[in-house]
Amino acid sequence: MRVVQVATGRILRFDDDRGFGFIAPDAGSEDVFVHANDLLDEKSAFKPGTAVEFEIEEGNRGLKAVDVRAVGGRRPSGSGGGSGFSVELTETLLERMPELTGGQVLRIRQLVADVARDQGVSL
């Protein structure tokens, strides 16, 4: 396996019993598989909505996150995560609807941005 890239994102879901889950990358690419063996912090730190940093490798079945670490606090706007509103919307969606995929979150964010633009609201 080779490292494809270093990324940031949010835990979409993580099943403690089965030992795996998925991450929604901030860049908006497809969700990335993560196994418990690749977590650098305690499993209990990885709940839906948790901000993470990780490396992406090409696995046997697609993209896989390795060296996954939880990052504390909310990212300030301008740090790669989009506007403050965009980050807040993403966090709210992931907290209240953890079953959403990264692609669904991106579509919702785009829809909200389009409606705001049409109404003359600056996000």
Q: Which residue has the tokens 């919702």?
A: 108
Domains of the chain: 3-118 (2.40.50.140)
Closest by CA to 62, choosing from 104, 23, 27, 13, is 23
User: How does pLDDT run along the chain (123 residues), one tens digit per residue?
Assistant: 555 578 999 999 898 888 899 999 998 888 999 999 999 988 888 888 899 999 999 878 888 999 999 987 443 333 344 456 776 787 788 778 878 777 777 788 888 888 888 888 876
Tokens of 104: 């669904």
